[in-house]
Amino acid sequence: MNYVIGQGDSLYSISREYNVPLPLILRLNPFVDIYNLQVGDEICIPVVEGATQENVFEYMVEEGDSIQSILDKFGIDIEDIIRNNGLNSIMLLPGTTLNIPNDIV
């Protein structure tokens, strides 16, 4: 999901609010200057599902994503993607939701 930085926000407070590890937020937002967050900046926060899926989070494939760019972004193997998503193909379309292992950080 996209999150718009508000007054008084820090990446630490956002990570606690959404129960997402701070290193994961940093990995998904390499362009963010953690020392100079600006109100109105937009960052990506993984959507963590309920207790039945606490070991994964959902990532929505965006325009321009490739399987390799997703593997590189999260530091995972193709087997992780296939195992957690039951994929028969590595062809991904924008808007596709992937379950990414939450133990990558």
Q: Which CATH architecture has domain 46-105?
A: Roll (3.10)
The answer to whether 67 touches 81, Cβ cutoff 8 Å, is yes
Q: Which fold has domain 1-45?
A: Membrane-bound Lytic Murein Transglycosylase D; Chain A (3.10.350)
- What pLDDT, on a 0 to 100 scale, did the predictor assign at position 86? 63
Tell which phi-psi region holds residue 66, choosing left (phi > 0), alpha (psi between -120 and 50) or beta: beta
- What pLDDT, on a 0 to 100 scale, did the predictor assign at position 88? 59
| Structural domain spans, the chain | 1-45, 46-105
Domain 1-45 identical in fold to domain 46-105: yes
- What pLDDT, on a 0 to 100 scale, did the predictor assign at position 87? 65
Strand 97-101: give its sheet, edge to edge.
47-48, 56-60, 97-101
Range 65-85 burial, b when 16+ CB lie within 10 A, else e:
bebeebeeebebeeebbeebe
The pTM (predicted TM-score) of the whole model is 0.48
- What pLDDT, on a 0 to 100 scale, did the predictor assign at position 53? 46
- What pLDDT, on a 0 to 100 scale, did the predictor assign at position 49? 46
Instruction: Report the distance separating Cα 20 and Cα 46, nearest Å.
Output: 7
Q: What is the mean pLDDT of each successive set of 10 residues along the chain, which is 105 residues long?
A: 89 82 82 88 72 64 87 83 67 79 64
